Structures are given as structure tokens and as C-alpha cells.
Amino acid sequence: MTVQSASERPRFDLGSVAYGGDYNPEQWPEEIWPQDVALMREAGVNLVSLGIFSWARLEPRPGEYDFGWLDRIIGLLHEAGIRIDLATPTAAPPAWFQRANPHVRPVTVSGTVLGYGARQTYCPSSPEYAGAAARITTELARRYAGHPAVVLWHIHNEYGCHTSRCYCEQSVSAFRAWLADRYRTVEALNAAWGTAFWGQLYADFDEVDVPREAPAAANPSQQVDFRRFSSDALLECYRRERDIVRAADPSVPITTNFMAGLTDNLDLWQWAEEVDVVANDHYLTAAQKDNHINLSLSADLTRSLAGGRPWLLMEHSTSAVNWQGHNIAKRPGELARNSLAHLARGADGIMFFQWRASRNGVEKFHSAMVPHAGTDTRLWREVVALGARLGKLEEVCGTRVEAKAAIVWDWESRWNLDCGNKPSTDLGFRERLDAFYACLWHAGLTVDFVHPGADLSGYRLVLAPSMYVTSAAWAENLRGWVRSGGTLVSSYFTGIVDQNGAVHLGGYPGALRDILGVRTEEFLPLLPGQRVKLASEDPGIPAGSASRWAEDLRLDGAAAVLRHSEGPGAGRPAVTRHGFGEGTAWYLATAPDQSTLDAVLRAACADAGLALPVGRPAGVECVRRVGAGGDEFDFLINHTDQDVVVPLGGEQVTVPAGRVRVVVSTR
Ligand code: GLA
């Protein structure tokens, strides 16, 4: 199948903000369905995701189909003007499939065969699963292609969520074939994996295994290739179903729901190329302080995956989830605040898991749009109020969020950092990345995320806090961009290895040394709880303190901005700044305390010519969406318990405690 460019693909456009959720009518007697539809209308629901886990109801026995119930509910929804996001049900293979194919059950890294009774019980590389999934998808697509209510196809559900890596024999064979395709010769594999280490040389692809639980840590390159393979194996599953649906129903857009920023099993830069509209699921970690910052990050990452185009929030929760330790209910107003924060950052649809709270099953205590307590509830009233509010925001659809700063995000770095055996267990993909993101969030700067090889010309500031893997080409991309005037901020353990995981030699951070103007001879990680003082060498950045990390760093063109005055790095630069071509490159060879990190990132923004908002109250999120004709939608989101006054374009806008104001300026 030829790959369609983004502009050629079918577009998702309801003409208004999509509002609704996963709808599982098969969990309820049919008498409830008309009530459901009436309530959906009351709540302003205009889109539901249907059939996500319905395989066993649609194909109760192999090759025997029952679409009657689905026809009836689709008919009811259609009559009521509610559109359908129709799912292929392949995330829940039926019991008969497991019985006929016991060898298709997924196997864990330690060799445990996972049983039936949950969902996603399948091996992504199984030909039997591929065949059965293709058959139900074909039947479904044939039956509902062209149905006027079906405006979107939803392939599977959350690829890579429960079943992400399978270690069964079918996976072993598929992994070997994938390696043979990638490396062509086993010598090339040996070179890429550095198998001279610990005498792991392979003479044949058939000698290679998946990286199982072993006496010691498995070869990191083998581990990372297995993650690449596993992402690709799931992508093949997606493409198979997508292509069947596309052939039957070419004009209706197709998507699948990502979990950007929540789980990291898929290389979503690749996946995003394969969907017509990017869709995302996001759940707050209820007990986490400032969890709305994580929401913003996920939304910004999703928008970036969508190439700046509008995207769909396919799932979030109206209140508590059921899968965390303490499933804390959302406070009054939090539902709308969360939903509107996603809308602010580029979503054109606000959907929930799920419409009606289940009576049975694992998720019976998960919140929904219709709670167990019914419609005489605060939660239902908030659901209805949100629907009414979104109904008035249709002009937001299609508008864009503009960012002049970007953070490099790359699953290759994430997977490599996950392998362990690094200089400190404090090193992790999200550790610095979240610290940088939170700092910019508090400063009021909206950011995109970018792949390290992306075109950076639209950005003035690029942050690379966690770009552990840096290929020569990616380094060259950054080099050219800084040389022509960009401001780069890099943190420790960035630019360290190539895409095979081999260390760039000659001093750290090998791939970026010339850009940063530094050369590190040795890493000097700090112990947990150890805090060291930093002396200032730049009038703009006050002295402070740092934790986690230090380096035996030598200046090679850069100037020291802060220097360790104690600890293993005493006397060594901790933060440096380097003029490179027309641009500037900052390097943070430690984890500064919050106010020092703030000061450094503010100075980098100044270098980049980015003006940060002034006078904005703390805890208030302000994001602007801009229409093609110049209309502006300013979302002012008050995450505090106090009413606040936000300066906006010469006006003072009051935003009540915990509420959201959307200020529209039309041209
Ligand atoms: C995921 C799934 C849903 C449901 C929710 C619960 O996002 O896609 O089916 O399990 O989690 O939070």
C-alpha cells in the first residue's frame, strides 16, 4: 500500500468539538440503550467509540457473526445524530480463540505464559492472531463502510499497553527475521551489538534469542533492538487492520489511541505517520503533586506527534480511575479544567473512558460520564455543563498552538536509558526532561516536542535534556541549527552514544562537544541526598546548589556560568555557555536546584530572544490557539484555590479559583 501524505489522508472534522466517550452497550440490557442515547443528547455528546472489546459478541464462534445488536445501537445513535468512532475489537480476542490457539498466549521476560481472562491476550507476532484479527476486521469494515454515522475508525485499543513485548517462540522467529532484515548479515549484527564483549559473537541469526531474564543483564543493543522490533510488530498489527478498513472505506479517517507520555513501548514518531488523525489517552496520577503539568506534557507531545495539526483526546477520566493505589476523585471543577487544558493544547475532541460506569469486571470502580449513582449527581451535572461549554467552542476547531521552543523527545534514548548499568540509577529519560518541562511550564512558555532529526528552523530555543542517543546525523542537525542562530540547552548524559548504543569516543558528550565547547573526562555522580554548592561566575545567574551529578569537565571554548565549589566536582564547571556560530549552546553538567534551573533556562530564553510573560500569577496556565484568519483563543486555566487576575493584552482578566476562562479575540 502506498503511503499517503498527511494532506491526502481523510480528515477528521465534526465541525464542532467532539464530545463523548467509549460506549460499551453490550454490557447493558437493550432497554437501557434508548436512555443512554437520550442522556447523551442531554450531555451534548456527539461522538462515541463503539465496539472496542466486542469481538466475542460479534463473532461468538469462529466464522459465525452476530452484527444484529451492533446494527441496532448504531441505528439508535444515528437517529439521534450521534456520530460513531467504530472500533475493530481485536484488543480482546475471544475465549474460543485462546482455546484453539493456546500457544498464542503472550510470554513474559521470565518465561511465564500469561493466561486468559483479562484482555490483550495475544502474541503480536502470531500468524494465527493476524489471521483471526484480519477476518473480524474484514467483516466489520465490509458491513459498516459508508455508514453515514461512522465518521472515524478506531483500530484496536492502546497498542503496547498490556501486551508490549512477547517472549514466546513465535516472537523469537519473528525477531530473527526482523534482525535479518535490518542487518542483512550476521557480521553486521555482531558489529552493531558489539558482541565481542562477553564473547557473544553469533555465527547465524538462528542463534540469536530474545533478551530473556539471564544470569546478568542482557546486551543493551539486543534489548533496544527487541524494543524496536516489538514496536514494529505491533505497528504491523495496526497496519494490517488499517489497510483492510481503508480498502473497504477509503474516505473515512482511521486512528488508534496512543498513550503519549504515559507508556513508552511504541516509537510514536513512526506510528504518528500511519494514522489519519492522532488520538491520545491520558490519565492523571491522582496522588502526584501538580499532576496537571504531566497532563500538559502529554498534550504537547500529542500535538507534536500530530505535526501541530489538531488531535483527539480519545480517553481521560471524569473522576477517579481504578488502577492506582489510591484512586482519588476529581474535585469540583477539575473535570472541566482537565478537559479544557487538553483543548487548549490543540485537541479538537474531548472523550472519556467511559460513557456509563460498568457494574461488573475489573473497571467497575472506574469513573464514567454516567456514574453508578446516576444523573442526580454533581459529576453528571459537570458532564452536562462541559458538553454545553464545548458546544459553544466550535470555532476553536482547526486552530493551532504555536511554539517557538521545543524539547527533543526520542524513544530510542528512552529505551537505551532503560537498559540499566549506567553511571547512576538517578539517570533516566524523564528525570531531566520533566524538570526542564516543568520549569518552562511555570515560566509560561509553551513548547513542542521534536524528534532529534526534525527540521528545527521554526524554533528559537531547543532543549535536549535527555538525548542520550545522538547519531552523527542528529548532532549535525543541531550543529547547523545552532550555527545559524539557534539556542540549545543540553543537560548531562546527552550526546553519549550512537544509535547502536556505542559510546562516542574522545571525551563526553562526544556527539555534541564542539557545539557545547566542553570536554568531560569522567562522570562524577553524586550520592542520593547529596547536595553541593555552586559558585556563580556570571552576574546574571546567582550561586545555588545542585544534586545527582557532576563531571570532570574541561572548558574547550565555553565559559563557566556556575562552578562546583564542593563535592567530587569541586572546582569544575557545572553550567557552561558557548557561543557557536551565530547561536549559543548551554550545558548543564549537574541538576541545579529549582531556582538555579529557572535562572539558567530564563537566561537561555533571553539568548533565544524569547520574551517570557510577566505578571502572571503562579499556578495559572495560559495557552493560545490561533486560527488561520488570526482569531485568537486564550485559555486561562487557574489551578489554584484562589481567584486570580491574569494580565492579557492590556486587560486584567479574573479567573475564579479552579476554573477556566477562554478569551476569544476575533479579527
Ligand atoms: C485505558 C483503556 C480503557 C480503560 C482505561 C481505564 O485507557 O483504553 O479501556 O481500561 O484505560 O483507565
Give the other-Cβ count within 10 Å of 65's Cβ: 15
Residue 365 has pLDDT above 90, yes or no: yes
Residue 2 has pLDDT above 90, yes or no: no
Domain boundaries, the chain: 405-607, 620-665
pLDDT by residue (tens digit) across 464-499? Answer: 999 999 999 999 999 999 999 999 999 999 999 999
Which protein residue's CA is at the shortest distance from atom 3 of ligand 1? 353
pLDDT of residue 8: 82
Residue 533 has pLDDT above 80, yes or no: yes
C-alpha neighbours within 13 Å on the C-beta side of residue 93: 28
pLDDT by residue (tens digit) across 264-290? Answer: 999 999 999 999 999 999 999 998 999
Residues whose CB falls within 8 Å of the CB of residue 409, separated by 6 or more in sequence, listed in order:
301, 304, 433, 449, 450, 451
Burial of 370 (0-12, 13-18, 19+ CB in 10 A): buried
Which protein residue's CA is at the shortest distance from atom 11 of ligand 1? 353
pLDDT of residue 3: 56
pLDDT by residue (tens digit) across 448-464? Answer: 999 999 999 999 999 99
C-alpha 487, offset from chain centre: 25
d(CA 363, ligand 1 centre) in Å: 9
Return the ligand 1 atom nearest residue 259 CA.
Answer: 7
Phi, psi of 635 (to 5 degrees): -95, 120
Residue 189 has pLDDT above 80, yes or no: yes
Q: Quick check: CB of 42 below 6 Å from ligand 1?
A: no
Q: Quick check: CB of 366 below 6 Å from ligand 1?
A: yes
In CATH, which of 3.40.50.880, 3.40.228.10, 3.30.365.10, 3.40.630.10 is domain 405-607?
3.40.50.880
- Are 410 and 469 a contacting pair, CB within 8 Å? yes
Burial of 513 (0-12, 13-18, 19+ CB in 10 A): buried
Which protein residue's CA is at the shortest distance from atom 4 of ligand 1? 353
Give the other-Cβ count within 10 Å of 174's Cβ: 23
Q: Name which of 403, 434, 432 is nearest 624 in CA terms.
A: 403
State the average pLDDT over residues 397-419. 97
What average pLDDT does the structure give for the chain?
97
pLDDT by residue (tens digit) across 590-625? Answer: 999 999 999 999 999 999 999 999 999 999 999 999
Residue 41 has pLDDT above 90, yes or no: yes
- Are 287 and 246 a contacting pair, CB within 8 Å? no
Q: Quick check: CB of 267 below 6 Å from ligand 1?
A: no
d(CA 264, ligand 1 centre) in Å: 16
- Are 559 and 578 a contacting pair, CB within 8 Å? yes
Alpha helix locations (H) across 249-377? Answer: 268-272, 291-305, 334-344
What's the whole-model pTM score? 0.98
C-alpha 585, offset from chain centre: 27
Residues acting as catalytic residues? 158, 315
Report how far residue 594's alpha carbon sits from residue 476's, in angstroms, rounded to the nearest whole number: 31
Q: Which three cell numbers stand for residue 643?
A: 481567584
Q: Quick check: CB of 157 below 6 Å from ligand 1?
A: yes
Burial of 647 (0-12, 13-18, 19+ CB in 10 A): middle
Grouping H, G, I as helix, E, B as strand and the rest as coil, residue 638 is: strand
pLDDT band at 1 (very low <50, low <70, confident <90, very high): very low
Residue 156 has pLDDT above 80, yes or no: yes
- Report the residue count for the chain: 667
Q: Quick check: CB of 158 below 6 Å from ligand 1?
A: yes
d(CA 353, ligand 1 centre) in Å: 6
